[in-house]
Amino acid sequence: MRRWFKRSALPPPALSRSEPPWLFAVALATTLPHAFTQPFWLTAWAGLCWVWALILWRNDRRLPARWLLLPLALAGALAIRIEFGSFFGREPGVAVLVLFMALKLLEMRQRRDAVVVIMLGYFLLLTHYFEAQDIPTALWMLFALWLVSAALLRLHAGALAVRPVLAQSARLLAQALPLMLIFYLFFPRIPGPLWGLPQDAFSARTGLSESMAPGSIGQLVQNDAIAFRVRFDGPVPPKNRLYWRGPVLTAFDGQRWQSGPVTGGKPVIDAAGEDIAYEMTLEAHGQRWLLALDAPRQLPADARADARLTVLLARPLESRQRFRLSAALDYRFNEEETATSRALNLALPAGFNPRTVALAETWRNTRTPEQIVAAALTHFRTEAFYYTLQPPLLGRDSVDEFLFVSRRGFCEHYAAAFVVLMRAAGIPARVVTGYQGGEINPHDGFLVVRQSDAHAWAEVWLAGRGWVRVDPTAAVAPERIERGLASALPAGEPLPFFMRASNDWLRPLLQRWEALNNAWQQQVLGYDQLRQQALLQRLGLPGGWQTLAWLLAGLSTLGLVLLTTLLLYQKRRTPPEIRLLQHALRRTGVHCAPAESPLALAARLARENPETAQRLAPVIESFVLVRYAPDGREHLATLRAAVAALGRRRTP
Amino acid sequence: MQPGQVNTRTAGAQAYWRRFFPAAQPQLAPCALSRRTIYILPNRSGLLFAVVLLTLLIGAINYNLALGHALVFLLAALGLVSMVHAFRNLHGLTLAPQRATPVFAGDTAQFELAIDNPTSRPRYALRLWATPELPLEFALAAQHRQTLQVALPASRRGWLELPRVHLESRYPLGLFTAWSRPWPALRLLVYPRPNNHPLPAVSASYAATGPLPSAGDEDFSGLRERQPGDPLRHVDWKAEARNSGSGPLLIKEFSGGSANELLLDWAQTDPQLATEERLSILCGWVLQASQAQQRFALHLPGCALPAGSDESHRLRCLEALALFPA
């Protein structure tokens, strides 16, 4: 017993010649997915080390000396320091792991080194999930673990051929999967993070931003990525009423729209009709706002609505998350508005867009605010405006140029121009960005909203009615609101892949794939503390981590005991030669006495039934060979043939 | 507290102890490795693996990685499954003592053991040792039996008993070490380390004790049937040829001839030397004398072996030297 932990008196076991290829495979399987995301020089550097180690192994050459590896390691570390500015954090951490892995391949002398390679491989596997956690990544994890376990097996099972090692590794993995399922379901989940994460913990993400310039949304629309998914408790409202409210922009400097200062107290919503409840799974966008359906009513516990009715979280959303919300489609919003807020929403930069201001001035004194809104929309509708993703570049007076010269633009052009017109005419107005519409995936019933559904519209404040949504894009291209972007744009516009009509045949496939991904995200990746408690509730068990701990311990013990029993007490299989002989005897209708040896049987048959004896003679002869000859197994084929011949001869 | 109570309690505890840790004594019957006699614990790699898993789990929680959790759980499950496989790799094997041939002190003794795998699954990467410096690595095919030579350095003369042997396996992933310590009953004689002193002169040996009448190889005295151990050069081949090979082999017996008979006596060795040293010298003489096929007698304090020259005589002498009380 004491011996258990003592270091062996023998020199540490060296690696045999046939072992390194397994470790090369491990290194490749665990670093390859990083090759495309890490800096190019690092990929090249690691690849060179890998190839070098491979060549040394192939030619059975000695590994480089330590004094040669040390400067290599230092140079790599220095390069990482220069590239990332630090060794800590997510990306430099991954880079250091890749560096270690590549260097370790050049230092594989003992079994201990091989074990280090494998442990590094485990860490590298974990780092894949910073980038993606989708189904292919999970499959790659299984594949890589299969290889890694095979390598570990090869190191500890003696000299086995490739195929049995792979087969045994697959068997181990298959036996481990049920246990893993128990762990996954019942291991008490702790919501992270445990401590503050480094700044670069999350990579940059696409989505709306807190400012808008001509063309910024048009760029976003080129992206097929899913922004969020929604499941309504009741029926899905009509598409033209699905305005997903994001950041509201009030400050205009002539070029860009910015968020500006937020004034006023709690928003006041006067809703008519019943609230529409829904659950939203929002992809991480690294921002604080939610994209609530206009107008938001009930909010999640950790969110609040600011004075401009943007729903904000306490901290930026850095991982995909589910929220329960409700909305009122018919509402009145802030019928009373403070003077400061109205003033903010009337401000225009001096000296910009004189023609627009002049046009608005002509409306200002002759019409009521409602009439001014209608006049502006009529202007968009009757003049020759085009809805296009490829507007010409605009100069200093961007709104003037758009309204009177180019007349080509995307939603942000229309929204911005409309708001400038309203402000010049003395009506408080602002730009609202967000998403509009969405598409139902027929396979799971979720409404999928993509980046390509990004939209910008306007909101005007009318006395007695509060803030009213006006979508000038609807005046120019009503199809955009009714049916989506693809039908609103003229032919030949560069559309995102998912929207192209030529890809119609692919759409069902893609939808199916996305439904599968959604199920994966909702059921597997989204399995968190809340779902765990819900599962316990459904099983009729009390919640809390104690129940989970008991379940975990009980079920995994049960699983292990079951596995042990299955593995140890496998039914002993009758050896093939016995089965063949029994088969032959059955076929010829010969009865063999319990203690009769095959030769005694042959002798008895020769006396009693010479014809059958003759038929059975080759079977018994080869049976005796298989059973008792020193190289018995080699005669198995003969026996099999003899038994088979028995059947053939009897058929007439 | 009554002393009697304590006694019964200790006895109970001892019985309990013995139930789980069977009395340590060598076994003549094949030792079967069962769940009672197989131990299993994580080894260094296993502990490193556990530390790595813990680190990975903390990383997965901190960065909220669902697949990270899956990876950690799959690895943990793999570790547990590998524990069952490590145990299974030893379970059901039997180890039986075979035989062992005597050696000289300072040599390495080889104990022959038979290991049998009666099950239908092969066993991998087994290590067997009596002393960790001399391990034996082997694998066993399904339903296969193998004889193994377990080495143990023989440092002192006398009986050398095979200690508990250590049979271990790190199969399949090297995270757990499963081991068992069976104790097959097997012992061998260790003769004294031979010392290369020149043989004493024949006359000198006579001067010490005087002639010993015994069967020797000087004058032909008759024929007898051959027994195992008789030297072949004493076979009467001519008589054999006359019988044309049908009768038993006959041995020519000689008598007397004490002029060439050697006496190896404890008293001839230097009394200044230690007992072991003197035994070594005697052992060297015995070997040299039998190498030269010389008749010799061995006299030790409390033990006198009459002269002889055959193999059995040599073994008797060596045994007497090996077992000479220290």
The answer to whether residues B72 and B185 belong to one domain is: yes
> Is the distance from CB of A180 to CB of A138 less than 8 angstroms?
no
- Tell which A residues from 178 to 197 touch B, by Cβ distance under 8 Å: 178-180, 183-184, 187, 189-195, 197
User: Structural domain tally of chain B?
Assistant: 3
Determine, yes or no, domain membership for A3: no
* Mean per-residue pLDDT of chain A: 84
Among A492-506, A595-609, B36-50, where is mean pLDDT lowest? A492-506
The answer to whether residues A345 and A454 belong to one domain is: yes
Convert the pLDDT of each residue in A372-421 to its tens digit. Answer: 888 888 888 888 888 887 777 777 888 888 888 888 888 888 899 999 98
B204 has a chain A CB within 8 A of its CB: no
Determine, yes or no, domain membership for B6: no
Determine, yes or no, domain membership for A514: no
- Tell how far CA A652 is from the center of its chain: 65
Checking if the pLDDT of A201 tops 60, the result is no
The answer to whether residues B34 and B171 belong to one domain is: yes
3-state secondary structure of A497: helix
Checking if the pLDDT of A197 tops 60, the result is no
3-state secondary structure of A386: strand
- The reported pLDDT for the residue numbered A626 is 85
The answer to whether residues B149 and B289 belong to one domain is: no
The answer to whether residues B127 and B226 belong to one domain is: no
Choosing from A34, A113, A400, A411, the catalytic residue is: A411
The answer to whether residues B203 and B121 belong to one domain is: no
The answer to whether residues A177 and A264 belong to one domain is: no
Find the CB nearest B77 among A123, A180, A192. A180
Determine, yes or no, domain membership for B11: no
The answer to whether residues B62 and B113 belong to one domain is: yes
The answer to whether residues B187 and B226 belong to one domain is: no
A158 has a chain B CB within 8 A of its CB: yes
CB crowding A596-626: b at 16 or more within 10 Å, else e: eebeebbeebeeeeeeebebbebbbbbbbbb
The answer to whether residues A317 and A402 belong to one domain is: yes
The answer to whether residues B28 and B122 belong to one domain is: yes
Determine, yes or no, domain membership for A459: yes
Determine, yes or no, domain membership for A518: no
| DSSP code per residue over A260-289 | ----SSS--EEEES--EEEEEEEPP-SSSB
Determine, yes or no, domain membership for A523: no
The answer to whether residues A454 and A492 belong to one domain is: yes
Determine, yes or no, domain membership for B111: yes
Share of chain A above pLDDT 90, in %: 20
The answer to whether residues A78 and A37 belong to one domain is: yes
Which chain B residue has its CA at the smallest distance from A143's CA? B71
Rounded-to-integer distance, Cα B207 and Cα A199, Å: 102
Rounded-to-integer distance, Cα B314 and Cα B321, Å: 11
Determine, yes or no, domain membership for A198: no
Checking if the pLDDT of B255 tops 70, the result is no
The answer to whether residues A367 and A490 belong to one domain is: yes
Bridge partners of residue B166, in order along the sequence: B129
Say whether A306 is catalytic.
no
Is there a contact between B77 and A152 if contact means CB atoms under 8 Å apart?
A: no
Residue A448: enclosing H or E segment and its boundaries?
strand A447-450
Domain boundary among A544, A568, A592: A568
Work out the average pLDDT over A518-538.
85
- The reported pLDDT for the residue numbered A3 is 46
Residue B137 sits in which domain range? 23-191
Determine, yes or no, domain membership for B47: yes
Work out the average pLDDT over A436-461.
88
Q: Within chain B, how many helices (H) and strands (E) appear?
A: 7, 18
Of A347, A334, A331, A310, the residue nearest A422 (C-alpha):
A347
Question: Which pLDDT band, with edges at 50, 70 and 90, does B127 fall under?
Answer: very high
Domain boundary among A518, A551, A568: A568
CB atoms within 10 A of CB B133: 12
Determine, yes or no, domain membership for B301: yes
Convert the pLDDT of each residue in A450-498 to its tens digit. Answer: 888 888 999 999 888 889 999 988 877 777 776 677 766 766 666 666 6
Residue A545 sits in which domain range? 529-568
Is there a contact between A526 and B66 if contact means CB atoms under 8 Å apart?
A: yes
Convert the pLDDT of each residue in A349-372 to its tens digit. Answer: 888 888 888 888 888 888 888 888
Is there a contact between A176 and B77 if contact means CB atoms under 8 Å apart?
A: yes
B76 has a chain A CB within 8 A of its CB: yes
The answer to whether residues B250 and B281 belong to one domain is: no
- State the residue for tokens 């038993």: B248
Convert the pLDDT of each residue in A562-572 to its tens digit. Answer: 998 888 876 56
Is there a contact between B132 and A194 if contact means CB atoms under 8 Å apart?
A: no
The answer to whether residues A221 and A355 belong to one domain is: yes
Chain B residues within 8 A of A10 when measuring between CB atoms:
132-133, 135
Share of chain B above pLDDT 70, in %: 81
The answer to whether residues A232 and A351 belong to one domain is: yes
B85 has a chain A CB within 8 A of its CB: yes
The answer to whether residues A288 and A436 belong to one domain is: yes
pTM above 0.90, yes or no: no
Rounded-to-integer distance, Cα A30 and Cα A144, Å: 7
Chain B residues within 8 A of A137 when measuring between CB atoms:
67
CATH number at B174 reads 2.60.40.10
The answer to whether residues A24 and A163 belong to one domain is: yes
The answer to whether residues B125 and B113 belong to one domain is: yes
The answer to whether residues B98 and B233 belong to one domain is: no
Determine, yes or no, domain membership for B3: no
The answer to whether residues A546 and A422 belong to one domain is: no
The answer to whether residues A460 and A405 belong to one domain is: yes
Determine, yes or no, domain membership for A206: no
- Tell how far CA A3 is from the center of its chain: 47
Is there a contact between A157 and B179 if contact means CB atoms under 8 Å apart?
A: no
Determine, yes or no, domain membership for A204: no
Site from A168, A179, A190, A530 to mutate, B interface, most B CB atoms within 10 angstroms: A179
Per DSSP, A405 falls in state: I
- The reported pLDDT for the residue numbered A9 is 47
3-state secondary structure of A40: helix
Site from A19, A129, A319, A517 to mutate, B interface, most B CB atoms within 10 angstroms: A129
The answer to whether residues B318 and B237 belong to one domain is: no
User: Structural domain tally of chain A?
Assistant: 4
Work out the average pLDDT over B231-242.
74
Convert the pLDDT of each residue in A607-635 to its tens digit. Answer: 888 888 888 888 888 888 888 887 777 78
Residue A519: enclosing H or E segment and its boundaries?
helix A507-519
